[in-house]
Amino acid sequence: MLPIDMGDRGRQHREHLRCALIPGTSMRFGALLRDLRERRGWSLRDLGEQICFNRDYIGKIEQGEKFPDRRFAELADSALDARGSLIEAWHRDADERPPTRLAGSSRFPRPSRSLDDEALARVYQATAYLQLDDLDASVSALRPVLDLPKDRQISWIKKRLGRIEDMLRGERYRGSSMARDLRQEIRDIASWPGF
What is the structure's pLDDT at 192? 57
Query: What φ, ψ does residue 103 adopt, rounded to 5°?
Result: -60, 130
pLDDT over 80 (residue 24): no
Residue 110, CA distances (Å) to 20, 105, 118, 133, 148 in order: 41, 8, 9, 29, 18
Whole-number percent of the chain with pLDDT over 70: 70
Question: What pLDDT digit, counting tens, does each position of 126-169 carry?
Answer: 888 888 888 888 888 888 888 877 766 666 777 788 888 888 98
Global pTM reads 0.44
Domain locations in the chain as residue ranges: 11-96, 110-190
Question: In this structure, are residues 28 and 64 in contact, taking their beta carbons and an 8 Å threshold?
Answer: yes
CATH homologous superfamily for 11-96? lambda repressor-like DNA-binding domains (1.10.260.40)
For residue 6, the model assigns a pLDDT of 42
Quick: pLDDT tens for 35-62.
999 999 999 999 988 888 888 989 999 9
Residue 95 has a pLDDT of 78
Q: Which residue has the higher pLDDT, 115 or 78?
A: 78
Give the mean pLDDT of 21-48: 80
141: left (phi over 0), alpha (psi -120 to 50) or beta: alpha
Q: Are 171 and 179 in contact (CB under 8 A)?
A: no
* pLDDT at position 104 over 50: no
Residues 6+ apart with CB under 8 A from 165: 183, 186, 187, 190
